Structure 1
Amino acid sequence: MQLNFTDLSANQRYHLMTQTIIPRPIAWVLTDSGDENYNLAPFSYFTAVSSKPALLMISVGKKPNGDNKDTLTNVLKNKKMVIHIAAEHQAEIVTQTAATLAHGESELANAGLTTSAFDDFPLPRLTQCDIAYGCELYEIKELGDIPQTLIFVEVKQLYINDTVVSQDAKERLNIAADKVKPLARLGGGEYASITAPFSIQRPE
């Protein structure tokens, strides 16, 4: 089967892209809606894009009514966000936090999640996640007719749970993916977990 994307609607393209670009990591993003009322939302259009500067990117669409999503509204105002890597056992809660709520209504309270202080960063992190990036807004780009918003953020702080990290003989940090058990996104309502990690030596 071969499909010509020029013949497809935006919804058809989205459906096919999300089912074929698999698995996708999930950015579980915490932002401040004001008065320490935190918004939390998952995004699977998410990736690392640069190491110098250390940049991550999430792609954010609109709410069903066409308004900006709270994540975009908050980061435009406060210039900060915390991106978490969710675990496979949190799939149900991650999905709950994708619900469209009124601005200022916190997904954390609805999901029973808690936060911990993020040293040297103004926003807290989710206590329940092994990995969290404290990020500052770097750049925003809008694409398409709707439009879709690309949010580029620079990593300022990285939290890693001590139970999932070790140090090798060269004093490099190694993250145990099989302990993190990261949650991945597939198409529709499907998610995936990793199987046993394996290594292959790259050629010189």
Structure 2
Amino acid sequence: MYIDLDTATDFKRSLFNAIVAPRPIGWISTVSADGRVNLAPFSHFNLVSTAPPVVMFSCNAPDDREVKDTIANVRATGEFVTNLVTWDLREQMNLSSFNAPHGTDEFEIAGLEKAASSKVRPPRVAASPACMECRLLQIVNIDPIGPGDTFSNVVFGRVVALHLDDQFIEPGGRFDVVRTRPLTRLGGNQYASTGPVVELGRPNPPRA
């Protein structure tokens, strides 16, 4: 199969999500200027750099309003928290993806306990083993280019604090991500966790 994206109009755009997989899930908690809490998962999420520590997530414009509550809240406060989604939290994560009316508290929908953050206003998911408090660096807008495209916002945030569950900290300060069983997004409605794990050290340069 060959698809020319400059001319094709009837191909399944969900192909991209199946090809770029598995993807980490950014479970983003925010708060509005007037104190309303929001929690939503984003599978277009990743680490950008470690020094400085920067993460990004992106989302398309919703059908019922100009921007999602997450974007509106980040713009208003300049803060957000990423919460690691584990296999055991998959149902709660899925419940928080509900297309809820503006101002709905998804913590309540998913039956999740809030935990106070230290340097930002949005709360953390108490059950998550790893949470990153972030301050907004910039939002990049991606305008539609062709037919069927939607407006997207890409959010970059600097990590200013970490909350890690001590049971997953190994000697030397290493975080044992395998034991947390992180949930990842595949194509369509498919999700997965870690499978077989191998360690590959950097190869030595070839001898002349």
Counterparts of 1:26-175 in structure 2, within 5 Å, are 26-145=25-144, 146-168=150-172, 173-175=173-175
For structure 2, the 5+ residue unaligned runs are 145-149
- In structure 1, how many angstroms separate the alpha carbons of the residues matched to 2:35 and 2:43? 25
- Output the amino acid matched with 1:37: R
Range that drifts further, 74-83 or 33-42: 33-42
Change (3 A) 1:11 1:65: farther
Structure with greater helix share of residues: 1
C-alpha distance in 1, partners of 2:190/2:17?
10
In structure 2, relative to structure 1, the CA distance for the partners of 1:4 and 1:197 (3 Å cut) is same
Change (3 A) 1:164 1:140: same
In the aligned structure 2, how far is the partner of 1:9 from the partner of 1:177?
40
**Structure 1's 67 and 31: CA in aligned 2 closer, same or farther, altered over 3 A?**
same
Greater Cα offset, 4-13 or 151-160 = 4-13
Q: Distance in 2 between matches of 1:28 and 1:61?
A: 16
Question: Alignment partner of 1:174: what SS?
Answer: coil
CA distance in 2, matches of 1:131, 1:8: 41
Aligned length: 199
Q: CA deviation at 1:10?
A: 8.6
Hey, which bits of structure 1, 4+ residues long, moved more than 6 A? none
- Measured on the aligned residues, the alpha-carbon RMSD in Å equals 1.7
The Cα shift of 1:198 comes to 1.8
| 1:199 alignment counterpart | 199
Q: Conserved in 1, the CA contact under 8 Å of 2:183 and 2:193?
A: yes
SS in 1 for 2:112: coil
In the TM superposition, what is the alpha-carbon distance from 1:103 to its structure 2 partner? 1.6
Contact 1:178 1:196 in 2 (8 A): no
Give the C-alpha shift of residue 65 in structure 1. 2.8
- TM-score, normalised relative to structure 2: 0.89
Is the aligned partner of 1:4 residue 2:4? Answer: yes
Give the structure with higher Rg (CA).
2
Amino acid at match of 1:153: G
Flag structure 1 segments of 5+ consecutive residues without an equivalent: none
